[in-house]
Chain A
Amino acid sequence: MKSADDKIKVLINEANIETGYGADERTLADALSSLEKMRQKRLTRSQQNVWRIIMKNPITKLAAAAVIIVAVSLVVYFVGNPFGSNVTFAQVIQPILNARTVVLDFIAGPEGKGPVIHDIIVGNRIRRTISNMETIMIIDLDSARMLTLDPPSKGAAYIDIQGPLQEGTKNLIDFVRKTITNLRDLPVQKLGQHNIDGRNAIGFQASGPNEKVTIWADPQTAKPIRIELLLAQKSLYILKNIEFDVPVDDSLVCMEVPAGYTLSKTEVNLRDFTEKDFIEALRMWADLLLDGNFPENINVEDFLKLTPLVGEKIRQLNVSDVEGTRLGMTFGRGIIFFQQLDPYGIDWHYAGKGVKLGDANKAIFWYRPKDSQSYRVIYGDLSVKDVPPENLPK
């Protein structure tokens, strides 16, 4: 029986049929005509608010939230100390450890273009909200867990953030602490007094090998009210409206699921991320949001702006809840992969502008992994090749 199976299989595999373009045209013309009719029909329907649609489904909301959470968490993925290593950790954290609470706004990219992340930091816990979405994140850095709350759907989920997410988030707080502590000891350039965010502030600027930091502080207390960090000359992060020791209700950073919320049983893991995740994120970005075209450029602020839309597009895929969450996680891990390039000083270049998904002849992204002699080059069909520096696309 086996041989008969194989013989027929071979015959089927080798069987081929070629249609003339006339036959293809007939089928495609009718199918495309139906598609156009369907599109017109849908256009006539009233458009519902994107977020209201998402909120109706708590589970797909989790998939959407997963995308958002990753993006938001990772924009604070700092590595290293921009001020060098001449100051000991104890010296750095001592004054700021006295501040029980820190409240700040965080912006990735130029101000006014992207959403604002609002953090309330109480010890090793953070309550994080974002201006263009309703999800609330409560992060416990000690246990490396994140509780996400979705007020409209009353959905809640715990997310494991062990690894880079935990460390990256810790580094943000350390960054604030070190910046403040080291202000007076650094060889900084004075920028004079200016009106910053509606307040009189005195400015200082310090530059490291891979970053430039501008700090605006209250001239009376010397406490910073605004910090601007430029990484690798292209990624800008702004901390503003910084306040210390403001009264904060502990319930705001409580890791217990509040009454009235339903805890999702879906397990979310953001620990592992690879180049493959980044490639899938690029595919989703092009396919879900840009009708098969790669974006003009890629940066953190765009990731942040687009994450709610990606969540909505995943919902529209009508995939299972598990699959939707998996897609959200993949996109999120792709962002993490991209986010960790600059902090590690990895050379990367994006060239996807004008390239369509599927174009195997055009390179869209290349980077040199740490300790590697060659570059990893990703093409428009999302294939990847190892290429020596001298053969990189011009």
Chain B
Amino acid sequence: MEDKLLVLRCKRGSKEALTRIYQKYKRDLLLLAVALLKDVSIAEDVVHDVFVRFVEDVHNFRLTGSLKGYLLTCTANCARNRNRAAFIAGSVEADPEESACFRSDEPAEVVICNEQLQRLSAAMAQLPYEQREVIMLHLHAAMTFDTIAELQEISVNTAKSRYRYGLDKLRLILNHEAEK
């Protein structure tokens, strides 16, 4: 109920409501983007773009499920586009072992990732992008495999396979890390 009312107020131009939506969900979106992209700066850009586009289209927006789910889906789509663009441009991914959580150009811009996020991000970075996405959407965004399959334009079985293989690999990575 609260989200529907916030969306309505946004439609009416309420800055307070938009700020509330941002404050309420920015962490979830940023966490998803960091886990998918392993770059805080790009992740921030993705979240920035998601919110700006949300506002630009809010007048036509019709909330049929949860607002959080919708924003997380937008974040996943935007992150995927960024990843594809980087692939096409031939960008080299950062060293998987390197922490994703750095940024200290200005004190006010400092982004702090806790140890768990750094571990998660570093481990995720060693998986193919598609597997990262399925794992994060299923475990973080609580999406069903049906929804994920639709989002990635693949079959449900493929989505489940990506999840299973990704999880197996993550387990190995985390176990190996623990042994060290």
User: Using a CB–CB distance below 8 Å, which chain A residues touch chain B?
Assistant: 1, 4-5, 7-9, 11-12, 14-28, 30-32, 34-36, 38-39, 42, 280, 283-284, 287-288, 291-292, 313, 316-320
A318/B5 in contact, CB under 8 A: no
Say whether, besides A17-B112, A19-B44, A8 and B18 are in contact (CB < 8 Å).
no
Contact of B116 among A14, A21, A26, A280 (CB under 8 A): A14
Q: Which of B23-31, B73-81, B87-95, B149-157 contacts A (4 or more CB under 8 A)?
A: B23-31
A-side contacts of B12, CB under 8 Å: 39, 291, 316
Whole-angstrom distance between the alpha carbons of A34 and B51 in the complex?
A: 10
B1/A280 in contact, CB under 8 A: yes
A42/B18 in contact, CB under 8 A: no
Contact of B167 among A1, A42, A317 (CB under 8 A): A1
Instruction: Map CB proximity to A onto B27-40 as digits: 1 under 8 Å, 0 otherwise.
Output: 10011001100001
User: Using a CB–CB distance below 8 Å, which chain B residues touch chain A?
Assistant: 1-2, 4-19, 22, 26-27, 30-31, 34-35, 40, 44, 47-48, 51-52, 54-56, 58-59, 61-64, 101, 106-114, 116-117, 119-120, 135-136, 139-140, 164, 167-168, 170-171, 174
Contact of B111 among A8, A19, A42 (CB under 8 A): A19
A38/B56 in contact, CB under 8 A: yes
Contacts A18-B111, A318-B63 known; list 17 others, CB within 8 Å.
Answer: A14-B116, A15-B113, A15-B116, A16-B27, A16-B113, A16-B116, A20-B107, A22-B106, A23-B109, A28-B51, A31-B51, A31-B52, A31-B54, A32-B19, A283-B5, A287-B9, A317-B7
| A211 CB → nearest B CB, Å | 36
A-side contacts of B10, CB under 8 Å: 35
A1/B111 in contact, CB under 8 A: no
Is chain A's interface secondary structure helix, strand, loop, or mixed overall? helix
- By beta carbon, the residue of chain A nearest B104 is A20
Whole-angstrom distance between the alpha carbons of A280 and B2 in the complex?
A: 10
B171/A7 in contact, CB under 8 A: yes
Whole-angstrom distance between the alpha carbons of A68 and B4 in the complex?
A: 21
A38/B5 in contact, CB under 8 A: no
A-side contacts of B48, CB under 8 Å: 26-27, 30
Say whether, besides A35-B10, A318-B62, A15 and B167 are in contact (CB < 8 Å).
no
Say whether, besides A17-B114, A24-B22, A4 and B168 are in contact (CB < 8 Å).
yes
Whole-angstrom distance between the alpha carbons of A42 and B58 in the complex?
A: 12
Say whether, besides A20-B110, A317-B4, A1 and B164 are in contact (CB < 8 Å).
yes
B-side contacts of A317, CB under 8 Å: 4-5, 7-8, 63
